[in-house]
């Protein structure tokens, strides 16, 4: 089964992934990572169509689409 995985320590909170997700599956967390950035979390996971837009857009390679 495919799954979107976000590495919260790599994320710098640029929000580019949120802007390209067509299904509102991503949001900014209230929590802060070790670098001081509010990182992105997956929400509405059931709405994700694995389009890869978020993965392609992320400049910090913080998002992966994995098979579990």
The C-alpha R_g of the chain, in whole angstroms, comes to 11
- Name residue, tokens 């390209």: 20
Q: Is 8 in the site for ligand SF4 (CB under 6 A)?
A: no
Q: Hey, which residues between 20 and 59 contact ligand SF4 (CB under 6 A)?
A: 20-21, 23, 25-26, 40, 48-54, 57-58
CB of 36 to ligand SF4, least distance (A): 13
CA 57 – CA 45 distance, rounded (Å): 18
CA 20 – CA 36 distance, rounded (Å): 23
Interface positions with ligand SF4 (CB under 6 A): 4, 6, 11-17, 20-21, 23, 25-26, 40, 48-54, 57-58, 60, 62-63
């Amino acid at each position: 089964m495919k799954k979107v995985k976000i590495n919260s320590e790599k994320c710098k909170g640029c929000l580019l992934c949120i802007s390209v997700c067509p299904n509102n599956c991503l949001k900014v967390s209230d929590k802060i990572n070790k670098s001081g950035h509010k990182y992105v979390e997956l929400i509405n996971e059931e709405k994700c169509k694995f389009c890869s837009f978020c993965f392609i857009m992320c400049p910090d390679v913080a998002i992966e689409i994995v098979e579990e």
